[in-house]
């Protein structure tokens, strides 16, 4: 396991955001927003959130799926997925149920988080059976799990050397088509640390699609409330990255060395979802004030960046 740069109360609070995300996802899954048979294994309880929040989670999960689908369609050989700040995300298991195209799935998070994820996986046959190879082999060390095609390792994303070592230990290959996923993660890093991580990744994987989902446009009243609430919980870095608009977030990806980059706020993503899907989700729970959803969507963005030709044409409406 990699050493942490230094473990602070803020890191503890940031790691805790994973619990919220998992419990909120379980709440939305139980209401029928999307199907995920695995999330209940990671959450102690379901958190019931307001309808606009549930719709926001749905839009994010669905949009990430849409981009992963495009990524897999373009892969010319076995690909790899690197899930940064993976928390208790269940993407590996959901994908395993529908495709064998992912040759290696790598998950990185703080060691405290990966250790808990490791324990949960080891306790649950339903999770473990999708990971073990034919001989049932799974290597578990403190906070880490290594199997054929699935690796979970602890590291601090602010420590470039640690990230490189973790990727190498997880069998990451520079020549493989690579999807790097960062959902609600980079926003918890200081701007210079996030920029250094993006530069490292842009260099390391020349056939790459990067997908980032996180807060944006926080430089207004709505944003101030969100930043204050997160600061009160101990997560103070959010204000640094989250204040940028979508265009600036895209520019930041180009500055990190990515060949192509584009992005949308979640209001645009929501409009791009198929009409019948939106209609189904809108029937699940009444939402009297549509403005609440629009406001929320304006403060989250999906940005994508590509390295090499393979993924250069990936787009929201493709
Ligand atoms: C809001 S959760 C999101 C989890 C997951 N990506 C999802 O969408 O459900 C943020 C995650 O990023 C991780 N994280 C934040 N900063 C990190 C860092 N410096 N090193 C490793 N992990 C970090 C946290 O521990 C947490 O699990």
SS (H, E, C) 73-117: HHCCCCEEEEEECCCCCCHHHHHHCCCCCEEEEEEEECHHHHHHH
In the chain, domain spans: 9-307
Residues 229-285: tens digit of each pLDDT: 999 999 999 989 999 999 999 999 999 999 999 999 999 999 999 999 999 999 999
Comparing 125-134, 157-166, 239-248, which segment has the lowest mean pLDDT? 125-134
Residue 140: predicted pLDDT: 77
What does the pLDDT average to over 148-170?
Answer: 97
Q: How remote is the CA of residue 230 from the centroid of ligand 1, in Å?
A: 14
Residue 77: predicted pLDDT: 83
Residue 66: predicted pLDDT: 96
In whole angstroms, give the CA distance from residue 100 to residue 90. 16
In whole angstroms, give the CA distance from residue 179 to residue 306. 9
Reported as a pLDDT band with limits 50, 70 and 90, residue 143 is: confident
Residue nearest to atom 13 of ligand 1 (CA): 85
Reported as a pLDDT band with limits 50, 70 and 90, residue 132 is: confident
Q: Is a pLDDT exceeding 80 seen at residue 136?
A: no
DSSP code for 63: H
Residue 111: predicted pLDDT: 96
Residues 5-37: tens digit of each pLDDT: 678 999 999 999 999 999 999 999 999 999 999
Q: Which of 88, 110, 195, 241 best tests ligand 1's pocket when mutated (most atoms within 8 Å of CB)?
A: 110
In whole angstroms, give the CA distance from residue 20 to residue 43. 9
In whole angstroms, give the CA distance from residue 17 to residue 10. 11
Q: Which of 183, 187, 188 best tests ligand 1's pocket when mutated (most atoms within 8 Å of CB)?
A: 188
Residue 141: predicted pLDDT: 79
Q: Is a pLDDT exceeding 90 seen at residue 1?
A: no
Residue nearest to atom 12 of ligand 1 (CA): 85
Question: Exposed (0-12), middle (13-18) or buried (19+): which is 155, by Cβ within 10 Å?
Answer: buried
Q: Is the domain covering 9-307 a CATH 3.40.50.150 domain?
A: yes
Residue 6: predicted pLDDT: 77
Provide the token pair at 93.
């298991």
Q: How remote is the CA of residue 185 from the centroid of ligand 1, in Å?
A: 5
Pocket, ligand 1, Cβ cutoff 6 A: 14-15, 17-18, 21, 85-87, 89, 109-110, 113, 156-158, 183-185, 188-189
Whole-number average pLDDT of the chain: 95
Q: Name the more confident of 317 and 200.
A: 200
Residue 133: predicted pLDDT: 67
Q: Is a pLDDT exceeding 90 seen at residue 41?
A: yes
In whole angstroms, give the CA distance from residue 39 to residue 88. 8
Residue 286: predicted pLDDT: 93
In sign, the C-alpha dihedral spanning 218, 220, 226, 228 is positive
| Cα-trace Rg, the chain | 18
């Amino acid at each position: 396991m990699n050493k942490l740069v230094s473990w602070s109360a803020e890191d503890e609070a940031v790691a805790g955001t994973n619990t919220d995300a998992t419990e909120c996802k379980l709440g939305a899954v139980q209401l029928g927003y999307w199907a995920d048979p695995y999330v209940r294994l990671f959450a102690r309880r379901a958190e019931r959130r307001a309808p606009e929040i549930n719709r926001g989670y749905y839009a994010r999960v669905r949009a990430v799926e849409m981009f992963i689908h495009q990524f897999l369609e373009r892969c010319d050989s076995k690909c790899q997925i690197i899930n940064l700040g993976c928390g208790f995300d269940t993407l590996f298991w959901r994908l395993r149920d529908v495709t064998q195209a992912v040759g290696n799935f790598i998950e990185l998070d703080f060691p405290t988080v990966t250790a808990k994820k490791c324990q949960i996986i080891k306790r649950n046959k339903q999770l473990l059976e999708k990971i073990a190879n034919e001989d049932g082999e799974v290597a578990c060390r403190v906070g880490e799990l290594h199997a054929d095609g699935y690796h979970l390792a602890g590291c601090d994303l602010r420590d470039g050397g640690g990230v490189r070592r973790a990727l190498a230990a997880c069998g990451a290959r520079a020549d493989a088509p690579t999807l790097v996923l960062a959902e609600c993660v980079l926003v918890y890093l200081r701007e210079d640390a996030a920029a250094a991580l993006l530069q490292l990744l842009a260099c390391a994987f020349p056939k790459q699609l990067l997908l980032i989902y996180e807060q944006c446009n926080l430089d207004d009243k709505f944003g101030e409330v969100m930043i204050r609430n997160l600061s009160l919980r101990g997560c103070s870095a959010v204000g640094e990255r989250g204040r940028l608009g979508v265009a600036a977030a895209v520019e930041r990806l180009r500055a990190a060395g990515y060949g192509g980059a584009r992005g949308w706020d979640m209001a645009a993503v929501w409009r791009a979802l198929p009409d019948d899907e939106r209609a189904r989700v809108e029937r699940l729970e009444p939402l009297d004030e549509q403005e609440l959803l629009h406001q929320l969507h304006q403060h989250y963005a999906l940005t994508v960046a590509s390295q090499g030709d393979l993924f250069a044409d990936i787009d929201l409406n493709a």
